[in-house]
Structure 1
Amino acid sequence: MRIDIWSDIACPWCFIGKRRFERALVGFAHRDDVQVSWHSYQLDPDLPEHYDGAELDYLAGRKGMTPEQVRRMFDHIGGVAAGEGLRYDFGSLVVANSLRAHELVHLAAAHGLDGPVNEALLSAHFEHGEDIGSLEVLVRIGTAAGLDGSEVEQALADGRYRAAVQSDIRRAGSLGIQGVPFFVLDDKYGVSGAQPTEVFSETLEQVWREANPLVMVSPVAAEDDPACGPDGCVIPGRSAVPARAPQPAAARSARHSDRSIE
């Protein structure tokens, strides 16, 4: 099974959705047969490389919300994140364009490290107040995940993965994706948003069953097939033996009491 996930490093619900999806995947019996790929999406591609102001100021200006409304939103999202084991710190968050962070994820994907790099970027942004637009921070995150520092510097300097980022964004548009996180399973099923873990679990099971239907060796059950059903159990060559109905506990205890008196 292939799962493509569109996400933005600057999206708080994306980190929450990642946690919930991963919890569902851990409990999925066929998780070793699942291939997960991360794709880029930018909520605000026009954001300057570095924004001179706090996250509260940025969101209040961009969304036309009052500071108090933004604070309530922070409290709500922070509470949901805490329920997933995440410790968001909106007060220390550095507002920055996520483009180069996405380029780093694509470089990491070329080395099979996009999962841990994406995780580290989200944590750095939302939990540790680090600047995801800083070359120094990105090189440190990349090398900590196992990438070569010189390759990270060079790739971010020459923008070799910028076209791949833009390609992801265009593909999201062609699929009708207008928000993240967004999960696409086997190029057929879409799940929008940071859904509860149970929704991801049910979807994984459904997609797996449809892609791997049970094939019966004996399409039609014969009358002498050794099996049990509602009408009893079959003994080959003989008619079905009626299944014995279970007796209520009260009746069983009553009969046992009668015998003990005798």
Structure 2
Amino acid sequence: MKIEVWSDFVCPFCYIGKRRLEHAMEKFSHRDNIVLEYKSYQLDPTAKHIPGKDFYQTFSELKGLPLNQVKAMNGQVGEQAAAIGLTYNFDTMKYANTFDAHRAAKFAETKGKGKEITERFLYAYFTESKLMSDHDTLAELAEEVGLDKEEVKEVMESNRYAKEVREDINVAHQIGVRGVPFFVFNEKYAVSGAQPEEVFHEVLNKVWEEEKDKPIIQEIDIAKNSETSYCTDDGCEIKEK
């Protein structure tokens, strides 16, 4: 089973949804048959870090909401995160653009570290209040999951993997993604939002039961009297007209 997850490193519900899916997968008897892929998405492509301005101020101005309302909203999100073992430190969080973080994650994927760096980046932003647009910070975090720090810096200083990030975002728009997290199972079934663990478990079982006996490719039924040529492990069969 293939699960593709569109998410952003500064999306609070993306981290919550990720953890709920993981908890559901732990209870799923066929979890060893799951291939999990993380896809890039940006909630705010124009985002930038402004030194001296905290997360609440930035979010308040961005959404046009009173400061006390912003703090109350994020407090509720923090409670949801805490309920599944995550710690969100909104007081020290640093609003930032995530495009380069996504590029670093794409590079990590080529080294077999896509899942590890996704978890590390989310924890770095929400719990450690790291600035996720800073190249040195990204390189240091990448080194922690086993990547070469200097190689990551070289990637950051170039425009490498920008195309791959944009492709993920374009695909998201094409399939109708309006917000993240967004989960696609076997390129057929979609689940939007940080659903409860029970929902993810139900979807995992549903997809597995519906798909397990189906061939990956279904052959079109062609008229019996048609003739064709083909090859098998035993050789090639040539039909003459």
Give the AA of the match of 2:177: I
Give the AA of the match of 1:143: E
How far is the alpha carbon of 1:213 from its aligned partner? Answer: 3.6
**1:171-221 Cα deviation digits (max 9, x unpaired):** 00001001000000001000000000000000000000011149xxxxxxx
Structure-to-structure mapping, 1:84-233, within 5 angstroms = 84-213=84-213
The DSSP-based 3-state class of the residue aligned with 2:87 is coil
Q: Which runs of 4+ in 1 moved over 6 A?
A: none
CA distance in 1, matches of 2:129, 2:35: 31
Q: Which residue of 1 aligns with 2:219?
A: none
How far is the alpha carbon of 1:167 from its aligned partner? Answer: 0.6
Q: Which residue of 2 aligns with 1:225?
A: none
Q: Which residue of 2 aligns with 1:32?
A: 32
Q: Which residue of 1 aligns with 2:14?
A: 14
Q: Which residue of 2 aligns with 1:69?
A: 69
Alignment TM-score, normalising by the size of structure 1: 0.80
CA distance in 2, matches of 1:171, 1:88: 30
CA distance in 1, matches of 2:75, 2:188: 35
How far is the alpha carbon of 1:159 from its aligned partner? Answer: 1.8
How far is the alpha carbon of 1:124 from its aligned partner? Answer: 0.6
**1:20-69 Cα deviation digits (max 9, x unpaired):** 00001111111111100000000000112x22311111111111110011
The DSSP-based 3-state class of the residue aligned with 2:36 is strand
CA distance in 1, matches of 2:38, 2:14: 11
The DSSP-based 3-state class of the residue aligned with 1:14 is helix
Q: Which moved more, 1:196-205 or 1:153-162?
A: 153-162
Give the AA of the match of 1:152: V
Give the AA of the match of 2:62: R
Alignment TM-score, normalising by the size of structure 2: 0.87
**Would you say 1:51 and 2:53 are equivalent positions?**
no
Number of residue pairs the alignment of both structures matches: 213
The DSSP-based 3-state class of the residue aligned with 2:3 is strand
CA distance in 2, matches of 1:142, 1:207: 34
CA distance in 2, matches of 1:84, 1:16: 8
How far is the alpha carbon of 1:111 from its aligned partner? Answer: 1.1
CA distance in 1, matches of 2:97, 2:212: 42
Provide the identity percentage.
39
Uncovered stretches (5+) of structure 1, i.e. residues with no partner: 215-262
CA distance in 1, matches of 2:113, 2:14: 18
The DSSP-based 3-state class of the residue aligned with 1:42 is coil
CA distance in 2, matches of 1:51, 1:4: 33
CA distance in 1, matches of 2:120, 2:179: 22
CA distance in 2, matches of 1:156, 1:111: 16
CA distance in 1, matches of 2:61, 2:46: 14
